[in-house]
């Protein structure tokens, strides 16, 4: 069955067999992607809390070097990007197999300036600036770890690799956590608000390694992003906003690190 719209697909009553298949599909996808990451991040938070310096005494690098040899390190970075793109491809494929193609979740082939780019940049500003303030406040209160956005060696490929990482993170998270999960939960009969809450909690969970502040900030991001998608059915603005936030953090930190003495 192929739906002409997401609303048409939501209205069709699923069979018992389809409901079971959807539940298993959600469980498997989360087990191999962000659900497992959420459990790992929660354990990391507990570990930080039990450490002598507490949560505030821990430092976490988001994009660390993986090898001392430049080419090997680059290959490791590219493998991380490929893994994230694979997660996004898995979510898109399963939706497509279920009758929901990329167009129906807001991933049309052509980006539009007013419908995609401008909203994406606006969302990046709405989320990014308050998010930075929340992180600084949480860090001052000792409930957030010290985050090092990038700690790659001074290689020629460093900045392109960081941009690729930002884009891959954005695509994987928004496809799985927003488009895939919200679509599947709605198909099971969940209300829009209940599905939105589940999506936001999932997004918060795999950021708990950053501390309480990171979890709270990403929960709010999940609420805003999820509601935006529910109302507009356009995923590109979320991907662009997320990629912009990450790229600015990664590259900004890398550029400023050699000029600002207090940066870790």
SS3 148: strand
The pTM of the full predicted model, rounded to 2 decimals, is 0.92
For the record, the structure tokens of 84 come out as: 């994230």
pLDDT at 221 over 60: yes
Determine what percent of the chain is predicted with pLDDT higher than 90: 65
pLDDT at 261 over 60: no
SS3 64: strand
Backbone angles phi, psi at 147, to 5 degrees: -95, 125
pLDDT band for position 103 (50/70/90)? very high
Pairing of strands 146-148, 59-61: parallel
pLDDT band for position 44 (50/70/90)? very high
Nearest to 95 by CA among 34, 25, 28, 30: 25
What is the pLDDT averaged over residues 30-43? 95
**What are 133-170's pLDDT values in tens digits?**
888 888 788 888 888 888 888 889 999 999 999 999 99
**What are 60-71's pLDDT values in tens digits?**
888 899 999 999
Measured CA to CA, the distance from residue 117 to residue 249 in angstroms comes to: 19
Could you state, in order of their start, the residue ranges of all structural domains in the chain?
A: 14-99+118-257
Nearest to 208 by CA among 130, 147, 123: 147
Measured CA to CA, the distance from residue 11 to residue 18 in angstroms comes to: 14
Contact 51, 44 (CB under 8 A): no
């Amino acid at each position: 069955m192929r739906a002409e719209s997401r609303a048409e697909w939501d209205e069709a009553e699923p069979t018992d067999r389809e409901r079971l298949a959807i539940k298993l599909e959600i469980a498997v996808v989360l087990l191999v992607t962000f659900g497992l990451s959420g459990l790992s991040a929660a354990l990391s938070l507990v570990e930080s809390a039990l450490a002598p310096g507490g949560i505030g005494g821990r430092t976490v690098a988001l994009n660390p070097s993986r090898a001392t040899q430049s080419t090997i390190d680059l290959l490791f970075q590219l493998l991380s990007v490929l893994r994230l793109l694979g997660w996004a491809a898995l979510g898109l494929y399963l939706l497509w197999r279920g009758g929901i193609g990329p167009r129906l979740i807001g991933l049309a082939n052509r980006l539009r300036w007013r419908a995609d780019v401008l909203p994406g940049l606006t969302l990046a500003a709405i989320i990014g600036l308050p998010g930075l303030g929340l992180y600084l406040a949480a860090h001052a209160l000792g409930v957030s770890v010290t985050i090092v956005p990038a700690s790659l060696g001074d290689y020629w490929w460093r900045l392109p690799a960081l941009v690729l990482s930002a884009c891959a993170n954005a695509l994987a998270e928004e496809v799985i956590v927003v488009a895939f999960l919200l679509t599947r939960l709605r198909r099971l009969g969940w209300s829009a608000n209940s599905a939105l809450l589940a999506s936001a909690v999932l997004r918060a969970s795999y950021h708990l390694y950053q501390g309480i502040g990171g979890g709270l900030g990403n929960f709010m991001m999940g609420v805003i992003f999820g509601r935006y998608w529910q109302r507009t059915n356009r995923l590109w603005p979320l991907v662009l906003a997320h990629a912009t936030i990450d790229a600015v953090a990664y590259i900004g930190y890398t550029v400023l690190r050699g000029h600002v003495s207090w940066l870790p």
